[in-house]
Each structure stands twice: as structure tokens, then as C-alpha cells.
Amino acid sequence: MAKRAKKVEGTQPSVKRTYEKKSIEGIGDIVEKITEATGIKQLVGDCVECTQRKFLLNRLFPFKRVTKLMTEQHKQEFILFLEECGNRVLENRVTDITNHVPFLNSLYAEYFGITIDICENCSGIHKAIIKDLNKLFLNS
């Protein structure tokens, strides 16, 4: 992310504020920006429900769409994941996928343009990610 300096108007022209520019991936990011600007996020803080809502809204109303099919290397890696534990998730069986979360998140970011912070308690998000990646895999 690029850092930019913004000059603050006032009596001290040399005072600068830096901020990081983050790309907006979908409606979920817009809602997050609004809650930050209105002070709601500071009152509530970060919570699992907020993370899930942001992901769900970005997933349902993304600003980016899938633009490419899954590569052969990613297909092979995804097959190994499905064989190890992914199929259990798709069958709604309880499965620990903690070790695979970074892999799933990176694939999802590459093909769907939506990033998600690693969240150990967000099983619903990762189940949705696995379902979306499986659909992409089957259609590639």
C-alpha cells in the first residue's frame, strides 16, 4: 500500500499526516469506511460479526469480478487441499483448516479480488471461500 502525506491546513504548514491508501473491494469496505467516519467502529471495536459482514457484502457485491480461470498449479494444490480436508468442509463436517487458511485466502484474493484478514474464528467465511473456489475449480 502506498503511503501518502497530506498537508494539514492551519497555523503550522509543516505538519503532515500520513495515511495508507487501501483499495476498496466491494460494498463491505464502503460500509466499514462509513462506520469509521461516523465513529460507530470506535464504539463497537473490531468484532467477528463485523469481519463476517464485511466479507459477505464484499462477496455479494464486489467491485471486481473473476477475470481468469484457475491455473494448473493452483488446481493441483486445491485438489490436495480437497483430499486432505476440503471435502469434509463441503460436506458440512467439522474440520480444522487452520493450517490452510493462508493458502485459501491467497487464492481467493487472486481469483476473486477480495482479501480477508486471517481470522481463526470465522469458519463461515472460510466455508464460503472454499465453496467459491470449488465452483471456480470445477469451471476451470
Residue pLDDT, tens place only, 86-140: 999 999 998 889 899 999 999 998 998 888 776 766 778 889 899 999 999 998 8
Stretch (H or E) spanning 76: helix 72-81
Residue with cell 463441503: 90
Contacts of 46 (CB under 8 A, 6+ apart): none
In the three-class reduction of DSSP (H, G, I as helix; E, B as strand; rest coil), residue 120 is classed as: coil
Residue pLDDT, tens place only, 8-23: 555 555 545 454 556 7
- Sign of dihedral through CA atoms 107, 58, 39, 41? negative
Residue pLDDT, tens place only, 35-89: 989 988 888 877 888 888 888 898 888 887 787 899 999 999 999 999 999 999 9
Q: Are 66 and 136 in contact (CB under 8 A)?
A: yes
